[in-house]
Amino acid sequence: MRPLVSVPVPKRQKCDHWTPCPSDTYAYRLLSGGGINKYAKICFEDNLLMGEKLGNVARGINIAIVNYNSGPMIKFIQSAPPKSLLFMATYDDGSTRLNNDAKNAIEELGSKEIKNMKFRSSWVFLAAKGFELPSEIQREKINHSDTKNNRYSGWPAEIQIEGCVPKEPS
């Protein structure tokens, strides 16, 4: 007879992390869309800022700035106050109508992939305005549509980055 092993149910962490963030940091998760029914999600400190449940996700690049209001994309990015975190995630296609001024504004925030984005690329990006994020934080991830390897018909798989950002910007 095998011994019965009892395993405690894992405690749910903020933004569905596997482990808790240190007390001096905020939890975040950015999830790009993937396929026709997999919408982008942006979570910060266990608050869903953007997602299908809220009905505030659309095709293109979805942007959330913590403690700030929305507007046209370039003006929205440029008017983010100092010491702001900017969270971006694509759903469907974020590249077709993205002009060079918008790409430049995102590149100025530190994006290395914005000019490499293609039709239906899955892309997520975390930026800090007016301060530096710790070097160990993953800031960006991209997955290009590839007809041979797409998870969904014509769509690449969704991608995500997650982590913990310091509560006090440096």
Name the residue with higher pLDDT: 102 or 1.
102
DSSP 5-46: ---PPPPP-GGG-SSPPPTTEEEEEEE---STT---EEEETT
Phi then psi for residue 19, to 5 deg, are -125, 155
Task: Please state, in angstroms and rounded to a whole number, the distance separating the CA atoms of residues 92 and 156.
Answer: 9
pTM value is 0.68
pLDDT of residue 109: 92
Residue whose pair of structure tokens reads 């000019």 in the numeric block: 115
pLDDT of residue 71: 43
Per residue in 94-130, pLDDT (tens digit) is 777 778 888 888 999 999 999 998 887 888 999 998 8
pLDDT of residue 103: 87
pLDDT of residue 75: 79
